[in-house]
Structures are given as C-alpha cells and as structure tokens.
Structure 1
C-alpha cells in the first residue's frame, strides 16, 4: 500500500487544512501540522475528510439489484425526506445489507463544489472525499462518539453516522437510539478532547471514555477507504444527467401516462359494453329460439341452431322440402277450416285446426291426400262451439 495523506476540511471556511501522513503500513509518520499539504501530497495518495454536518447517511430499501438502476431510483425514493430539490444533491451509494437496504450518502452539489475549491486553493487534489464521522474508530457492538470543542461526531455503523453541535448531542443520540430500536448498541465508546464534556440522554448505554489530543491523527489512522462512502459522484453524466432529463420531462411523462391510462380505460369500457351487448343479443336469440321452436329443448349454440332451423323452414334451398313449401301447398286447401296452431319437425308439420262440423276436418284430410300430401289424423275433439283436430302432414314421396 502506498503512503497516504489524509487532509481534514474544517467547518470554518477560512481555517487551513489539517494534514496527517501515513506510511505504507498505515502508521502515522513524523510530518507535523505545520507542513504544507501540497508538499506532503507528493508521492502520496491523498484523501480528504469533510464536515459530516453537511452529509446525510442513511439506508434505503431497494428491490432492484442493479447499481445503475439503484442510482436512478434512490433520489426519487428519498425525495419526500429531503428539504432540498433532488436536482441540487448528489446521492452516493454504499454497500447493501442483508435486509436488502442500500447505504446512501447525500450531499449538496454546491457544498461538494466548495470543498473541491478549498482543496484546489491549497494545491491538493484528493482522490476521494469522505464524511469525517466515517473515519472514527470502529468498535464491535458499539457506537463511536468524538467530542471536540463545539462539534460532535457519531459513527453508528460501517457506513452510517452523523455530526452535530456538541451541546445538542444528547438530543441527537436519543433520537438515533430510538430509531435504532432493537439494533441499538449495548455500549458507547467516546473520544473526548481535553476539557470536553459528554452529554448523554438517559436512554443511552454506558460509555467507555478515552482522551484524544490529536483529532486529525485519530481520524487519519482509522479511515478505511474500502468501506467508507465516497462523496464524489462516480458518473456526473450518468445518473445525474438522467435526473436532469427526468426533471425536465417529468411533467410531460406524467401527462402522457395519464393520457395512455385514460385511453386504456376508454378502450376497456368500449370492449366491456360490446361484450355486454353481445351477451344480451345471445340471450335474446336463445329466448326467441325457445319461443319459436319449443320442441328443440335448451339451445347450446342458439345462433347456429336458429340459422339451421330457419334454413330448414326455408327448405334448405329446395322447392319441395321444408315448412314454407309445405304451407304453400296446404294453404289453398284449407277451405272453411281455420288453422289454430302449427309445429314443425324433421318428419313434417303438425297443424291444429278448428271447424264447425266433424265433416269439415274429414274433408280437409281428403283434399290434402288428393294433393299428394301424406296426411295422418292425430286427434279430433268435439266441443260445444265446434270441432278441433290435429293433423300430421308431410310433403309425400
């Protein structure tokens, strides 16, 4: 591993950079605070630590696994939680935990730009910039706290933490412990500069205390660049550009989606109405079929069966068969006999007749037979006001 230079950017914009050097084994070298960072940066890998008060680290549940898709989705998943426009922010992805949540760091673009300018003025080009609280020492099953003057840094995980003013540390800790719930740590490890107090809420666990005199050195020794979330956008023209285009076209896209949804709903409604009309027509055909052909039973395919029956009534295209040709031959022979009913089957027609005397029915039977029709008297009934009968008539061979 190459020697490294860790520079710390102070909250005060006019304060100089604090620089500490590490050898290839990660041990502090003898370079003092008075050395210029630009001179120390020669032949060393340079990393910068920025004030964590300007950086939000959190976890976001992401169902997608593609880093590119996560980079596109995270800003809009967090939009309601942020006071600034997502277009003005950088969203940096960290590691994904076992629960499917991805660690995210959020920093304002203008803030990151200001840090870059401060480094440039000092003649330093850092490979990456990290929030300072992610350089605090990591302790198993514990949160790490640093109180230095009026600032407090808290590391709550490998890629999470926060920074605040030291006089409100107790409030921030209480909120963080409450949010952690069952994942709250059983202990705290605190690093305090001489004279610094450690305000803790009542719900906080016991704190193990250490005194630290060189804060930049403590942070430099414990910065793990393999796991800390860097604040430089990996691809300013990728996800960031996509977000800019989305912001520009989002309203149009939403309107287009609404139009498509409305057209789809309208088409669905038209289709539904057509289906209802077809179903009603089929019901009407079935009812008409049963009324017209009561001997046919319940129709399975009423439309087809109706067409078949009508074709049979028309005689299937022949002039000699079918109901209509048969009626054409029967009608002129009825004479004084009245037709009161008619049914049609494959074997011919059955006609119900009524007349004043029995002789009238007999005479009709003879006329039909003389015309070449096959006739069979099925029933004759005398009634008070006349005679009714039923005859089976076929076209004859």
Structure 2
C-alpha cells in the first residue's frame, strides 16, 4: 500500500538559531485510501522518522509544504506546445512579473489554462535550502514541495481562506495563492469587493476555514470580510490543524498546486525503477548475449580467413598457368576457367572462325533487343585468329555488355574506335581466343 507523508515546518523559535535539527513540524500520514493513519504537531524530524519505523513503513512519498509567501504565482502566456520551447520561453514570459533578476529565480511550470500557463517562482538559493531540508528523511522519498496555501480547496468563482493563528492562507479559483497576516484580511476584502469597470457586479463566494477558537478570536476580522456586502462569506469549522485540510484537499484533488521540484531541482531521478527486481536477470541475459555475439563474430572471422586462404590458393594455381592474364581475379576465376575449358573442348588451343562466331552470336542474342545492337560488317583474320566486327548499338553500355559477355566466356574481347553519335554508339569489336 502506498503512503504519503505531508510535512509542514513551523517557524524557528527565538534563540534556536538556524539549526535545522531544532525545527519542529506538523505532519500527517495518509494511506492510499485517503485515511489519516497518523499525525503530529510540533514534533522533531526524528520523532516522525521513528513513527514510520515503528509502523514498518518504508519508501513513503514525502510532500514538503513551505510558507506560501516563499513562492510567487505568475501566469505565462506562451503559444508553444512542445515542452522544450515552453521551457526556453518561460523566463522571458514572466520576467516583468518578478521583482528580481530572472537568472536567480527558479521557475516551476503548472497547468495550462485559458489565461496561459500557471507558474511558481522562487529564489534559487531558498529553493536549494528547502530541497536540502526535506531530502534524506529515513523511510521516505521526497516527491514534491508545494507552497502551503496552494493546497487549499478551491472555491469555484471565488476565494478560499484558512485562518492559521496570526496568519491567513488564501487561494483563488484561478490558482493564485497568498499568505498574509489575519489583521489585513479586511483590507483584502475591500479589494475583492471593488469590481473593475468591465466586471458585472455579482457576489464573490468566499469560504473561510478555521477552528471554533479561531473564529471566536477573529470575530472582528470576519466582520470586516462581510462588511463590503459584495462578498458571500461562508465559514467551515476545522476540528484539527490546518495541515489536515491541506492534505485532504491534495489527496482528493480539490486543489491544483504546482510542484516546485522541477528542472534543476527535480527529484524524479530518485524514484525506484520498476525494473529493479529484474536487474540480476537482465544482467545475466546481457552477459549471455555478449558472449553469444562474441562467439558468432569469432566463428565468422575464422571462416572468412579460411575462405580468403582458399581463394589465394586458387589464384596462385591460376597465375602459375596463365601468367599473362591480369584481368582475372578471385571473383571471376571460376567463370573464366569454365569458358576456357569450353573453348578448349570445342576448338583446342586456337579458336577458329566458326568458334568465335558461335560465341559472338550467342552474346549478341542475349544482349541485343530489337534493333538495339547491329553488326554492320564482320572480318576474320586467320593469321591473327581475330574476329573483327563493326558493331552499332543504342548506347556504349550495350557495347560494353557484349564485350563483357564474351570475356566471361574466356575470350579476349576488346572494343576500339568508339564513336558516340546522336543515334547511338558505334565501334569495332575484336574477338580472339583467351
């Protein structure tokens, strides 16, 4: 079962200095069903960790809540849709809404609305301090850091306010959060009650959360909220501390907070991989694959070497028998030898006119299409043992194909006096015994 721990640090008391170990926390532990399994107020970190250990809990998701005034709410109107372009344009889109150097501010991206992207801005130095504060808790894994006011339940079309001692947390239906002193709520109420020139005057719903004790102590403030008349104020009593309201709203998706753990401060790399239990098996399979590939590659190299040696031996024998033949190589030696054997079987060492005409005619019938290759004249020199053919073709490639075919039969075929004309190419084909 998945558990989530909500932790909200209290301000350091006077005389405690800046020692993080002296910080006290309000906290609540939720299970996957949305039930609070444990909670505490004003406890040390060690107390919270000990509680998790006693209940046998591990890898609990931790959500840290920081004061709402630590992070500023902005809206970025960016037309891009790809996250890469959005992140590039984000600093320029909110620069005018932030009163400090934009390079010293960490920006976290929220949901996209009709107005634009919701953005949370926080000083980089402070964000690093908060990240360090919530990291490394025993039996937990940091999942998110939120401004506390952003976790209030959203009131449709209006505002939600939670009284928290001398302070008040507020959030609007557009996602904007604020934290201020409770004494200033009256001034804030007059701001809400004053509509702009473009607004239709309607009531603004406001839900105020607090304990009965706080309602009694803040009667004057509540009276100022209702005084303007345009606000429709409704009170919701809390039985316990405000943190439980925030945790309940977040667990039940009643709010739309922005997780500050993004980009440079992302904690996603710390999440457990679903493949972790299978890592030993994956390692064995990878090792077997490497061994198998290495073995196959080794056998391939061995057989390739054997084949190269056999080809070299064959060429050595051929070169010893035909030292003057420079055109034959390992790739065509078999075809050349077969042609020479056919010729030797037909006519012996010297090729006669009939033999040369037979092979030339065979290649002509294979190469020539209708009218593409023509013989204009044929001459035979018995003293030289050469057949000279004046041939015309539609292209030089046809002439070359005819010559290569004859060479493949073991004959010595050459093309000379080639002339390229508009109608094709003509040349003189000289064929003799190989």
Distance 1:166 1:24, change over 3 A: same
- For residue 151 of structure 2, what is the aligned residue in structure 1? 135
Q: Is the 8 A contact 2:203 2:232 kept in 1?
A: no
Q: Deviations over 1:39-72 (max 9, x none)?
A: 3454221111111011111322222222222222
Give, in whole Å, the separation in 2 of the partners of 1:69 and 1:230. Answer: 20
Give, in whole Å, the separation in 1 of the partners of 2:252 and 2:104. Answer: 26
Q: Deviations over 1:198-236 (max 9, x none)?
A: 342726512101232311212121125974210112345
Deviation at 1:77, TM superposition (A): 2.2
The answer to whether 1:219 aligns with 2:234 is no
Q: Is the 8 A contact 1:58 1:105 kept in 2?
A: yes
Give the TM-score normalised by structure 2: 0.48
The answer to whether 1:103 aligns with 2:103 is no
* Structure 1 gap segments, 5+ residues each: 238-397
Give, in whole Å, the separation in 2 of the partners of 1:7 and 1:177. Answer: 35
The residue correspondences of 1:367-382 to structure 2 (distance < 5 A) are none
Q: Deviations over 1:317-365 (max 9, x none)?
A: xxxxxxxxxxxxxxxxxxxxxxxxxxxxxxxxxxxxxxxxxxxxxxxxx
Deviation at 1:189, TM superposition (A): 0.5
* Counterpart pick for 2:33 among 8, 11, 25: 25
Distance 1:236 1:72, change over 3 A: farther
Identify which range, 191-200 or 83-92, moves more after superposition. Answer: 191-200
SS at match of 2:186: helix
The residue correspondences of 1:1-397 to structure 2 (distance < 5 A) are 2-12=2-12, 15-33=23-41, 34=43, 36-40=47-51, 42-43=57-58, 44-99=60-115, 101-120=116-135, 125-157=141-173, 159-175=175-191, 182=199, 186-193=204-211, 194-195=213-214, 196-197=217-218, 198=222, 199-200=224-225, 202=228, 204-212=230-238, 213-224=240-251, 227-235=256-264
Q: Is the 8 A contact 1:5 1:46 kept in 2?
A: yes
* Structure 2 gap segments, 5+ residues each: 13-17, 267-434
Q: Is the 8 A contact 2:105 2:122 kept in 1?
A: yes
Instruction: Tell me the matched-pair count.
Output: 236
